[in-house]
Amino acid sequence: MLLRSLASTALLATAFSAHATDFPVQLQNCGYTLTLDKAPTSVVTIGQAGTEMLYALGLGDKVVGTALWFNPVQPRFKAVNDKVPRLSDNIPSFESVLGKRPALVVSQFEWMVGKDGVVGTREQFHDLRIATYAMPADCEGKNNLVGSDGTRTASYDVKALYKGIRQLAQAFDVEARGESLVKALSDRQTQAVAKVKSSGLQNLSAALWFSSADLAADPYMAGKNGVAGYMMQALGLRNVITSAEEWPTVGWETIARANPSILIVARMDRRRFPADDYQKKLDFLKKDPVTQHMDAVKNGRIVIVDADALQGSIRQVDGMEQIANAVLKIEGLSK
């Protein structure tokens, strides 16, 4: 797998070598126009998705500071990441970002750098001649001024992720690497979709349980328009949750009555709520007087997926593969 992707990188590199970026370059980004006279020599990333995306593009040596970590860095990037100063695990201060004198700031969320940004507004950085880039996955078709995690005005599409990869690759003059990364990700997604199709299972429905504020309380479920909702829909699974919010709270009564054929349960390192532990989630599903009667629970059609894969990041395809592999193992459903 690794060899194959290396080989394809090499192939693509020759195919696209003519496409070197012509500076100055202008990028349209979430309502702003980014003008770069040359490839940025230093970048601060706020949000793990952007950090790992730059690492995947081989730009680790350009990253001079990182912040906002949800999970440990992917093992394949550990060596690169160890050399980069971490400004903070959580939200960095405006001045700690400035202190690195970056040419560019890449932010995963608009609520970090954006109109109501807790780190700062984009204008604040622009005034100091620091360029900013916001991930299209978080701003396109999404209103981040409404709802605690923002509200999607249109369904998320993986194209927004690819656009982010391509634009960053263009900004750093590594377009061939960007194309090969996009190709590798979209090939894997195509294979995952084909896998579910090959199972021959018809009318598959699903619900994805992220966590709950208290074990028995109304759970946070994947809404229909968010990243996780897109993953289900792209795989051919009908999400029984119809809310447009990114992570709506939905009562177990509604979920149990909807009786999805598959329940997807998030696994995470976070331990803020009891239900962050997926073992406790499984235990609850089997013991609760209502959920124990759901078809998915009775027949063991429960899929575990890593929470890091439920964001608009290069890890998303990992989650789609996990779900697809689990669907192949499902038994007892009519074809």
Residues within the interface to other proteins (CB under 8 A) = 68-70, 89-91, 148-149, 211-218, 220, 241-243, 245, 248-254, 256-257, 259, 269-274, 288-290, 293-294
334 CB-near residues (< 8 Å, 6+ apart): 201, 202
* E strands present in 214-290: 219-221, 238-239, 262-267
Between residues 91 and 98, which has the closer beta carbon with respect to other proteins? 91
Choose between 42 and 254: whose C-beta lies nearer to other proteins: 254
**Cβ at position 145, least distance to other proteins in Å:** 15
25 versus 217: smaller Cβ distance to other proteins: 217
Q: Is 95 exposed, middle or buried (0-12, 13-18, 19+ CB in 10 A)?
A: exposed
CA distances from 1 to 6, 7, 20, 57, 222 (A): 9, 10, 28, 18, 31
Least distance (Å) from other proteins to the CB of residue 246? Answer: 11
The C-alpha atoms of residue 174 and residue 180 are separated, in whole angstroms, by 10
Distance in Å, CB of 183 to other proteins, minimum? 31
CA 277 – CA 173 distance, rounded (Å): 42
The least distance separating other proteins from the CB of residue 241, rounded to whole angstroms, comes to 7
Q: Which long-range contacts (CB under 8 A, 24 or more apart) does 52-55 make?
A: 52/77, 52/313, 52/314, 52/315, 53/164, 53/165, 53/168, 53/313, 53/314, 54/106, 54/168, 55/80, 55/81
Taking the least distance from each CB to other proteins, the nearer of 187 and 288 is 288
Residue closer to other proteins (CB basis): 26 or 90: 90
Cα gap 304→301, rounded to integer Å = 10
Least spacing, CB of residue 211 vs other proteins, in Å: 7
* DSSP symbol at 309: G
Rounded to the nearest whole angstrom, what is the least distance from the CB of residue 303 to other proteins in the complex? 21
Burial class (CB in 10 A: 0-12, 13-18, 19+), 70: middle
Shortest CB 184 distance to other proteins, Å: 28
Return d(Cα 172, Cα 40) in angstroms, integer. Answer: 6
Query: E strands within 115-204?
Result: 131-134, 142-143, 151-152
| Closest distance of CB 130 from other proteins, Å | 22
Cα separation of 124 and 127, whole Å? 5
CB nearer other proteins, residue 168 or residue 256: 256
| Beta carbon nearer to other proteins, 69 or 94 | 69
Question: For the sheet containing 86-88, what is the strand order?
Answer: 86-88, 63-67, 43-46, 104-107, 131-134
Question: Which CB sits closer to other proteins, 87 or 130?
Answer: 87
Rounded Cα–Cα distance for residues 151 and 221 (Å): 14
- Least spacing, CB of residue 92 vs other proteins, in Å: 10
Nearer to other proteins, 25 or 268 (CB): 268
